Amino acid sequence: MAKRILVVEDEANIVRTVRLYIEKAGFEVDWATDGTQGLAAFRRNNPTLVLLDLNLPGKLDGLDVCRTLRSESNIPIIMLTARSEETDRLIGLELGADDYITKPFSPREVVARIRTVLRRIEQPDVVLESLEVADIKINLGSRIATISGKPIELTRMEFDLLAALMRSPGRVFSRAHLLEHVLDTPFYEGYERTIDQHVKNLRQKLEPGPRQPKYILTVRGVGYKIVDG
């Protein structure tokens, strides 16, 4: 069966163009014009991925929809944002969105990002079943993470970022390198904020004192590393 993409976007010209390219790529497409319709379509049609505009009309904006989707499901979410919406974009990442695309954009880029996110979540990790660093342990097969034996809830992006760091304890990763590991995509200008935001989210969940982290450390001018043992 073809994978189904839910597009929640109120600008009809954007939807027509994006829908044409997504369907040509072999996906089925549902379309909703506001947050309420978007949530109803998600619950009714069980899509594979949601393409979500942050600036939606009506009672529920894109952030409201993102928050609700993440509370109900781990479905991949790609946000569509205007360049002036950086604060909302960062909030969306905090809420668990997997990726974002800024307007104006190429419809080919949209299709490429959809394929990238889906490919990343569908590829099984057959090399190692689990990883352990200090008090943190993750099972790559079940995608369960624990710290000191207690389970922690991570978004897909947070789990993949943590796994990338834990595969090489002590190694310093640049933001660009982490993007290649986690998103399997080239480095785009502005994307360093994406990695920074997800690291911030991880620290909130892992660290006893996020402002003075002991697990995920910042290496100034370079990027991040996880402690070696």
Q: What is the value of pTM for the model shown? A: 0.67
* Cα–Cα distance for residue pair 82/75, rounded to 1 Å: 23
Q: What's the length of the chain?
A: 229
Tens of pLDDT along the chain (229 residues) come to 679 999 999 999 999 999 999 999 999 999 999 999 999 999 999 999 999 999 899 999 999 999 999 999 989 999 998 866 677 777 888 888 888 888 888 999 999 889 888 887 776 554 558 899 999 999 988 889 999 999 998 888 888 899 989 988 999 988 888 877 776 555 455 566 778 888 998 999 998 888 889 999 999 888 999 998 6
pLDDT at position 97 is 87
pLDDT at position 128 is 58
- Per-residue burial over 81-96, b if 16 or more Cβ lie within 10 Å, else e, is beeebeebbbbbbbbb
CA 104 from chain centre, in angstroms, equals: 20
* Cα–Cα distance for residue pair 115/208, rounded to 1 Å: 36
Contacts of 180 (CB under 8 A, 6+ apart): 186, 187
pLDDT at position 192 is 67
CA 171 from chain centre, in angstroms, equals: 23
pLDDT at position 190 is 57
CA 62 from chain centre, in angstroms, equals: 15
Domains of the chain, start order: 4-122 (3.40.50.2300), 130-226 (1.10.10.10)
pLDDT at position 87 is 78
pLDDT at position 69 is 95
